[in-house]
Structure 1
Amino acid sequence: MTTAQPNFDLIARPYRWLEYITLGRALEDCRLHYLPSLLKRKQALVLGDGDGRFLAQLLAENPHLRADAIDTSAAMLLLLRKRCEGLAPNASTRLKTHQANALTCPLDGPYDLIVTHFFLDCLTQPDLENLVNRIAPTLAPKALWLVSDFHIPSGPMRLPAKVLVRTLYLAFRILTGLRTARLPDHATSLQQAGLTRIAHRHRLAGILVTELWQFNPATP
């Protein structure tokens, strides 16, 4: 998400199959890996969940959760709501969808769960810092922030990872108009906002990472 806002409507329906063709189930595995750790959460903010495969599963397995889902794509949100209502009991009353830019959309809170699966990599570094600073005041103590993203590892996989990430950015620029071309540093921004990484797991030799961060507000 940048100043020149991309349009993901055209890839909404084929998105799942494009993902499977390019990286198999690896992204889905990242999304769902920490799902068992989220079953006591009460209020979630979910940004850019695409067609809703993760959120539908989360709502189905956590019947007490309510969620705000924000996406710029009306087509993605339509698929997300349909999938959630098909899988999760009472999803229509537990889920609010907002077609909006996460950098400007009003946030309710307090949230005890933030979910950003393969979303932060759509942001420039200034936009990411802006987003984190907007969300931080809405976080409940001990809130969890779940991040899945691409990663450039060290060692022999560094060059292949760079080539893959550049290729994906180019593809999304062509298909959606996304102008971002470099992975932002989410770790520094989250740390500065009072979050601590409490768990992480790598996939595809470190090219993919999924992390759990916990909010620990500073005491006066």
Structure 2
Amino acid sequence: MSGFDRLAKPYRWMEYLSFGTALENCRFHFLPVLRNTRHALLLGDGDGRFTAALLRQATAADAVAIDASGGMLHALKKRCAAVGAERRIQTFCTALNNGLSESLPRNHFDLIVTHFFLDCLNDAEVEHIAHDAALCATADARWVISDFHIPDHGAMRLPSRLIVRLLYLAFRLLTGLRAQQLPTHGPILHRNGWQMQQQQTSLGGLLISELWQRADNANIAKSIKSELQ
């Protein structure tokens, strides 16, 4: 049983009490440009608010959701069923520390999503995910990331460092989370064939939303900015 199972039911309200709607806004920031998604791979989407919103918007899409927590996947499936998308979602309950399963189809997913998930991994584990994601992604695939972040400078640098440290301590106590610092996912994704196209920050830089594109087709993403306006 995953340590996150006990948080599946109260997670949404814990999040709202801690950060209001800031984390949810962070997850949904790039949703408007994803309406043409065909096949999505969602890693650690928690209680499934984003998955349900994506499938409600991208009516021709199907999705695979992978999480180590059966409780979170149960909540995700309920949310997908509530929007009539239960037949378009497959779920797999498995840990992702060693990368993605070789059974996932190659060159298949045009969207990969990791919302507040990479911060549960160390650099080596993110490397595994990034390598395997490149193998199962299409040439025009996008990767959407939301996560905590410590700004390089500014008034929020020290508060962000303290908040992140406290969050890791809390999740270690509540779930047994092993990671204790944010991974450096940017350089890892870049060397595995991804190029960042857009980044949005909030709460003074504590939260980031990023949109990445397969590097060999990064020119396709030049229209993203106009799509968001």
Sort the TM-score into its range (normalised by shorter chain).
over 0.9
Whether 1:144 aligns to 2:142 is: yes
Find the counterpart in structure 1 of residue 121 from structure 2. Answer: 123
1:206 CA displacement: 0.4
For residue 143 of structure 1, give the secondary structure of its aligned residue in structure 2. Answer: strand
For residue 136 of structure 1, give the secondary structure of its aligned residue in structure 2. Answer: helix
For residue 132 of structure 1, give the secondary structure of its aligned residue in structure 2. Answer: helix
Is the 2:145–2:211 Cα contact (8 Å) retained in structure 1?
yes
1:93 CA displacement: 1.8
Find the counterpart in structure 2 of residue 191 from structure 1. Answer: 190
Structure 1 range deviating more: 134-143 or 206-215 = 134-143
Find the counterpart in structure 1 of residue 213 from structure 2. Answer: 214
d(CA) in 1 for partners of 2:100, 2:215:
25
The one-letter code matched in structure 2 to 1:92 is E
d(CA) in 2 for partners of 1:107, 1:178:
26
Is the 1:7–1:72 Cα contact (8 Å) retained in structure 2?
no
For residue 156 of structure 2, give the secondary structure of its aligned residue in structure 1. Answer: helix
Find the counterpart in structure 2 of residue 107 from structure 1. Answer: 104
- Structure 1 segments of 4 or more deviating over 3 A? none
1:92 CA displacement: 2.2
Is the 2:2–2:70 Cα contact (8 Å) retained in structure 1?
no
Find the counterpart in structure 2 of residue 132 from structure 1. Answer: 130
d(CA) in 1 for partners of 2:93, 2:61:
21
Aligned pairs (5 A) from 1:55-94: 55-87=51-83, 89=84, 91-94=85-88
Is the 2:126–2:183 Cα contact (8 Å) retained in structure 1?
yes
Structure 1 range deviating more: 172-181 or 6-15 = 6-15
Question: What is the root-mean-square deviation of aligned Cα atoms in Å?
Answer: 1.3
The one-letter code matched in structure 2 to 1:163 is L
The one-letter code matched in structure 2 to 1:116 is T
- Specify which structure has the bigger relative contact order, considering alpha-carbon pairs within 8 angstroms and separated by 6 or more residues: 1
Identity fraction in percent = 47
1:39 CA displacement: 0.5
1:6 CA displacement: 5.1
TM-score by length of 2: 0.89
The one-letter code matched in structure 2 to 1:51 is D
- Provide structure 2 residue ranges, at least 5 long, that are not aligned to the other structure: 218-229
Is the 1:122–1:180 Cα contact (8 Å) retained in structure 2?
yes
d(CA) in 1 for partners of 2:160, 2:104:
35
d(CA) in 2 for partners of 1:190, 1:55:
22
d(CA) in 1 for partners of 2:216, 2:94:
28
Q: How many equivalent pairs are there?
A: 212
- Provide structure 1 residue ranges, at least 5 long, that are not aligned to the other structure: none
d(CA) in 2 for partners of 1:217, 1:100:
31
d(CA) in 1 for partners of 2:10, 2:94:
22
1:40 CA displacement: 0.6
Is the 2:189–2:195 Cα contact (8 Å) retained in structure 1?
yes
Whether 1:41 aligns to 2:40 is: no
1:83-110 CA distance string (max 9 Å, x none): 11101x3x22211000012325332241
Is the 1:113–1:143 Cα contact (8 Å) retained in structure 2?
yes
Is the 1:152–1:158 Cα contact (8 Å) retained in structure 2?
yes
d(CA) in 2 for partners of 1:69, 1:166:
28
